[in-house]
Amino acid sequence: MSLLRSLALVIGLLVVALGAGSVPAAAQNDTESLRPLINALADGKYKETEKQIGDLAATGNPVVAPALEALSDGDLYFRKSDKQVFITSKSGEGYALTDPLTLESAGEAGKREVSKIKVNNSLRRVIRSALGSLTLMAADPKVRKEAAEAVFKAKDPDAIEGLDTAIAKETNDEVRLVMEQARAAAVLNSDRSDGEKLEAVEVLSSMGNRDALSLLIGVRDSSTGDLQAAAATAVKRIEKTLALWDNAQNIWYGLSLGSVLLLAAIGLAITFGVMGVINMAHGEMVMIGAYVTFMVQEVIRNSAPGLFDYSLLIALPLAFLVSGAIGVGIERGIIRWLYGRPLETLLATWGLSLILQQAVRSLFGPTNREVGNPDWMSGAFEIGQMTVTYNRMWIIFFALAVFAGLMLVLKKTPFGLYTRAVTQNRRMAASMGIRTPWIDALTFGLGSGIAGIAGVALSQIDNVSPNLGQGYIIDSFMVVVFGGVGNLWGTLVGAMTLGVVNKFLEPYAGAVLGKIFVLVFIILFIQKRPRGLFALKGRAVEA
Amino acid sequence: MMTSFLFRALDARAGLFLIILLALTVAIPASNLLLPETSPLHVPTYAVTLMGKYLTYALLALSVDLVWGYCGILSLGHGAFFALGGYAMGMYLMRQIGSRGVYGDPLLPDFMVFLNWKELPWYWYGFDMFPFAAIMVLFVPGLLAFVFGWFAFRSRVTGVYLSIITQALTYALLLAFFRNDMGFGGNNGLTDFKDILGFDVQADSTRAGLFIASGLALALCFLLCRALTRSKLGKVLVAVRDAESRTRFLGYRVEHYKLFVWTISAMMAGIAGALYVPQVGIINPGEFSPANSIEVVIWVAVGGRGTLIGPVIGAVLVNFAKTWFTAALPDIWLFALGGLFLGVTLFLPKGIVGTVSQGWSALRQRSASAAYEAGSDEPPGSPDAPADVSHKRASSDASPQPAE
Amino acid sequence: MSRQTSLLYLDGVSVSFDGFKALNDLSLVIAEGEMRAIIGPNGAGKTTMMDVITGKTRPDTGEVYFNGVVDLTGEDEAAIAELGIGRKFQKPTVFESHTVWDNLELALKAPRGPFATLFHVISGGEKKRIEDLLELIRLGDKRNELAANLSHGQKQWLEIGMLLAQDPKLLLVDEPAAGMTDAETAETAELLKDIAQTHSVVVVEHDMTFVRSLGVKVTVLHEGSVLAEGSLDHVSADERVVEVYLGR
């Protein structure tokens, strides 16, 4: 166990050191001055080696870390001819040489030309703490912080002294806090006095995250007396705060799922909700939008790689136009013959969805297509104890923006006015000179186009395959029906509610069962309120 | 009372259909078992099984037509009842395996041993007895349909709303049956059956027997549907389909009628599923997939909804085409199926049988009125025989109307 | 007139849809055997009133009693129809894919449950009754015609026939003369007067000539409540009625 932990520490430090090694330009000048110290390792017994390691560590320059690391791993050799020290790796019969300071390749050497610098376990321990204090005292605060975090994970009691020195020297408050926490973790793992451990519990208790919690639970379960009581109190405190953060995280996940549902359903809210056309090929409009994104990225990759970060922005209008145009085509070609026959429309559009799926499958193949995330869509940041990924965050913003844009179009533009007029009283609208067939086609096109841009967003979080749309169609209908047909606000509230409810159910019931519960809930809900959450009342509804 | 109820079911057309169906039910297995393989009339066993499968599909289509064609309830979830009937039969077949499974456990099916289960879940009790399983084939789909229908029809969920929630129903079941801890074999479902009622499921004679059972079940259910739809109840159903609220204001409790016919239909679908499973040798959650249920609807639409012969013809034709396409031109099949959905709804809304019989009765009407004008003393359709009248009108009577 | 002696009794009935008051404190009493005409401009609440009586819409407040004792607000459409209230819609609604004969057979007073209809065999008495109705609504030679093939006027008559087949105590008739020729309108008025001999009837109508030819008490609805009541001459002399209709 402790071996594993130290390994984790070493690896962590190595990563940090390598990361740092490429950064500091100022340190570059001193690099060569370090060479004699390194080369000194070439001769000497264990005892001297220990001193030499101390000297290297005392420079406080992280550049020496790889050499120490290699030494610990038994990969540090010296060339017999000139007593130059190299990091080596096996290469055929001989060794590939790497300069220990610049980390540049330094040719190869035969088996006989080099000799290994010997280490034993006690030396390895020295190296480890040297490496620890080395990075803990690096010039870059980021490196110091990461080093401290690595110690925290490893909980290595040997690192306590190094930490003490580092804490004493530390000027950055944030880094010092992390170091103190790391020290606390190490103290709890050591055989130090209960007094010190109580202090450490205090430190961890105020740290208040999951890592601290698991440490404290360990302490609570393995100690006695005051220490156990203190740990137990701390555990309770942390669990309470964590529960709050858990809820926040669940809500966030729920909103994220809700925004995906909203994106998928919002086009349907127009075609089904506003126009009353039941379009089972809606999911395929989403799928087509995702494939447009894929094609845009393909073109960019081949001809203008620099534009990759803008690929989504380019794909948005294109997806809208492509899906929208297909939507207009569907309306003119099929749906207009079936107005007033919703069940037939359902069947015809289902047939259409089969055709579109198979067409995409024939064109692009049945497998998933790779759609990349631009830089600004990848990664994550933390708020308190919850993690927020950028792609989810942007999708929430995007879904809300699409919703707001759609509201604007429907409420504030002449087109929206005509649409509402036609859906409320077709004959009256026609007699006022509105070209109702065109409004029908354009409204349907708008709904489909929005499905297309939803596809752009969904391509970032879902597999882009011909079946993409099918996964969303039932959910989308559920959202629209749940929210209340013909009511866009209902769709918004419906999507977010279902998303959040789903995510709160998941921890108790599991993802699949949670989803089943939500479906059953909606089925029951529709029985209770057949017209949805925000139903329109009155005679007009019955007609 | 009962006899008049059943006799009402028969007329020349239905009789002809039944005679053909029963003749095939006897002839096909007979040729398989009695004729030598070299004979040109010999039907190979795989074809018997395939056609047996078509018959169960036809029964499923018939059950969908009963609710859709006659009562205007478009179910996109009948596959759920079919699959539940199939699972009930599958559970019986699983328990028949006994200790012949891979793990040789006398009580637990293989997948439970694999999941490290120690005892049989309570809902598997009794399925070692065929009569119990047979009752469950009817009871489970019937109960689900009754409970679902009770809520849905009472709160007057109609039209596409109902269609969508039936779809959600089967989707929820799909997800549920994929779970291993449901105790129905998860992903893989139930398979590797050995025997049914003591007969080897692989044997030619058993296959023939299952084919005959499917044919008989279809014939009986056809008769039942015929009797239902030609009774006054059938007229009420059509009334509900065409003008639901009018029917209500006449004092009929529409929800009771819907619930009645919905539950019967679900049980028929369950029988179809139960006959399907031993013939194809497997039942898995894929049968719950919403796409399957919608496909059934298109069989009905192709054949002609609101006619009872139509769905049978539609199911056989479409599935024959499917078998052929998926073997010869697999990439084209979905295009063809999609095209079928579009073509039938746009150009052939009455389906094959509906369109043909409409043409036929128009022709007959013309000659009848010609005879009337020529001085025939009997006006077409005498008032003394109203039941007979409606039968003469049956073709146009049954012409599909959109539910809304 | 008190609730107990009335056939239909509405008191203080209000219904609102999303803030819009379709009925506002409406009170109306129909006596046994009475025929009443109800007029009012569009949106006066005539159809909503019918909906409330037949159980399609639940009133927010107010009482609705039939026969003096039966509270209609707690019953659904089917139960109310079985109690003996028949309704004819504004737009003629018949079962278009059934024959005229079947339409009447379905409407005929008989047990309404699914099992009763499943095993139902038509009796001689029922046939006789249908024959009589066919005579009355003058569709004898159309008995085997699909209802879909009837003219607009014939559908109106068929629907009235179906209403009578139910043998209700009270008929609610919504704009029976709408879309009819003058001759048909006159015949319809005669038919209704015949019916009124043996039933109570409430007629909603726009056509003043038609209402005049009925010669019965008139209730004027406006904005969901009763504006005036009395003979047609009496109400048409009423200032407020003139104002509502002419929009002075």
CATH code for the domain of A266: 1.10.3470
Q: Is B172 on the interface with A (CB under 8 A)?
A: yes
CA nearest to B151, candidates A529, A15, C64: A529
- A76, A90, A87, A89: which is closest to A44 by C-alpha? A76
| A257 domain-assigned | yes
Domain assignment of residue B14, given as a range:
2-297
Domain assignment of residue B184, yes or no: yes
**Among A95, A121, A153, residue at a domain's last position:** A153
Which amino acid makes up residue B398?
A
Domain contains A215: no
Query: What's the gap in Å between the CA of C48 and the closest CA on chain A?
Result: 8
Per the domain annotation, does B374 fall within a domain? no
- Residue C64 forms beta bridges with which residues? C10
Q: Which residues of C are less than 8 Å from B257 in CB distance?
A: 114
Mutation site for A-interface testing, chosen from B334, B340, B344 by largest number of A Cβ within 10 Å: B334
A59 in a structural domain: yes
Closest to A343 (Cβ–Cβ): which among B148, B156, B160? B160
Q: Taking CB atoms and an 8 Å limit, are C102 and B390 in contact across chains?
A: yes
Domain membership of residue A381 as a residue range: 246-542
Whole-angstrom Cα distance, residue A122 to residue A47?
Answer: 10
Domain spans, chain C: 1-83+216-248
Provide residues of A within 8 Å CB-CB of chain C.
536-539
**Residue ranges for chain A with pLDDT beneath 50:** 1, 16-28, 537-543
Interchain CB distance below 8 Å, B235 and C82: no
Chain A residue with Cα closest to C20: A538
Pick C166's closest partner by Cβ from B1, B4, B250.
B250
CA A89, CA A49: separation in Å to the nearest integer?
A: 21
Report the candidate in A223, A181, A57, A55 with the shortest Cα–Cα distance to residue A129. Answer: A57
* Pick from A517-521, B342-346, B350-354: least confident: A517-521
Q: Which residues of A touch C51 (CB under 8 A)?
A: 539
Closest residue of C to A541, CA-based?
C17
| Cβ burial, residue C212 (10 Å; 0-12/13-18/19+) | middle
**Confidence band (pLDDT; 50, 70, 90) for B142?**
very high
Q: What is the pLDDT of residue B389?
A: 35
Is residue B361, in this structure, part of any structural domain at all? no
Which value does ipTM take for this structure? 0.89
Low-confidence ranges of chain C (pLDDT < 70): 1, 246-248
Q: Which long-range contacts (CB under 8 A, 24 or more apart) does A363-371 make?
A: A364/A291, A364/A294, A364/A466, A366/A465, A366/A466, A367/A465, A368/A463, A368/A464, A368/A465, A369/A291, A369/A294, A369/A464, A369/A465, A370/A294, A370/A464, A371/A290, A371/A293, A371/A294, A371/A297, A371/A459, A371/A460, A371/A464
Residues A342 and A476 in one domain: yes
Lowest mean pLDDT among A119-133, B171-185, B214-228, C92-106: A119-133
Minimal CA separation from C98 to chain B, in Å: 6
Contact between residue A388 and residue B373 where contact means Cβ atoms under 8 Å apart: no
Return residues 174-233 of C near B (CB < 8 Å). Answer: none
- Within-domain flag for A74: yes
Task: Give the ranges where A337-465 is alpha helix by DSSP (H).
Answer: 342-364, 390-412, 414-424, 426-431, 436-458
Cβ-contact A182, A189 below 8 angstroms: no
Question: Taking a C-beta distance cutoff of 8 angstroms, is the pair C114, B257 a contact?
Answer: yes
Establish if A45 belongs to a structural domain.
Answer: yes
What is residue A8's predicted lDDT score, i.e. its pLDDT? 53
H helices of B243-350, where?
244-249, 254-280, 290-303, 309-328, 330-347
**Is A342–B178 a contact, with Cβ atoms under 8 angstroms apart?**
no
A541 in contact with chain B, both atoms CB, cutoff 8 A: no
Q: Which residues of A touch B337 (CB under 8 A)?
A: 351, 354
What are B45-60's pLDDT values in tens digits?
899 999 999 999 999 9
Q: C touches which chains (3+ CB pairs under 8 A)?
A: A, B
Per-residue pLDDT tens over the stretch B63-97:
999 999 999 999 999 999 999 999 999 999 999 99
Quote the Cα angle for C181-C183-C184, to 5°.
65
CA distance linking residue B230 with residue B398, whole number of Å: 10
* A154, A5 contact by CB (below 8 A): yes
What residue in B sits closest to A526 (Cα-Cα)?
A: B157
H-type helices in A40-120, by residue range?
Answer: 46-58, 65-73
Which chains neighbour B (Cβ–Cβ under 8 Å, 3 or more pairs)?
A: A, C
Q: Domain total for chain B?
A: 1
Rg of chain B over CA atoms, in angstroms?
22
Residues in a beta bridge with C14 = C61
Identity of the residue in B155, B179, B335 whose CB atom sits nearest the CB atom of A358: B335
Give contacts of A531 with chain C, Cβ < 8 Å: none
Selected residue of B3, B236, B244, B250 to mutate for chain C interface (largest C Cβ count, 10 A):
B250
- Residues of chain A in contact with residue B291, where contact means CB-CB under 8 angstroms, are 470
Domain limit, last residue, from A153, A183, A199 = A153
Q: CB distance B297–A347 less than 8 Å?
A: yes
Kindly report the pTM of this predicted structure: 0.79
Continuous segment of H or E residues that includes residue B100: none
A257 lies in the same domain as A137: no
pLDDT greater than 70 at residue B394: no
A337: nearest CA partner in chain B: B346
User: B234: nearest CA in chain C?
Assistant: C118
Extract the tokens encoding A486: 């013909």
Would you tell me which residues 97-136 of chain B have a C-beta closer than 8 angstroms to some C-beta of chain A?
none
Q: Which residues 503-522 of chain A have a CB within 8 Å of chain B?
A: 512-513, 515-516, 519-520, 522
Three-state secondary structure call for residue A96: strand
Determine the pLDDT at residue B402: 37
Report yes or no on A159 lying in a domain.
no
At B398, the pLDDT band (50, 70, 90 cuts) reads very low
Which member of A352, A358, A478 has the closest CB to residue B342?
A352
Write down which residue in A90, A125, A153 finishes a domain.
Answer: A153
Mutate which of B345, B347, B401 to test chain A, going by most A C-beta atoms within 10 A? B345
In a domain, residue A132? The reply is yes
CA distance A325 to A337: 18
Structurally, chain A folds into a number of domains equal to: 2
Q: Which of A332, A505, A523 to mutate to test the interface with B (most CBs of B within 10 A)?
A: A523
What chains are in contact with A, requiring at least 3 Cβ pairs below 8 Å?
A: B, C
| Nearest Cα to Cα of residue A258 among A433, A515, A50, A497 | A497
Q: In this structure, are residues A196 and A187 in contact, taking their beta carbons and an 8 Å threshold? A: yes
> Is residue B88 a contact partner of residue B334, using CB atoms and an 8 Å limit?
no
Which class does domain C1-83+216-248 fall in?
alpha beta
Q: Tell me if A502 is assigned to some domain.
A: yes
Q: Comparing B252 with B6, which gets the higher pLDDT? A: B252
Can you tell me the distance from the alpha carbon of B394 to that of B368, in angstroms, rounded to the nearest whole number?
A: 16
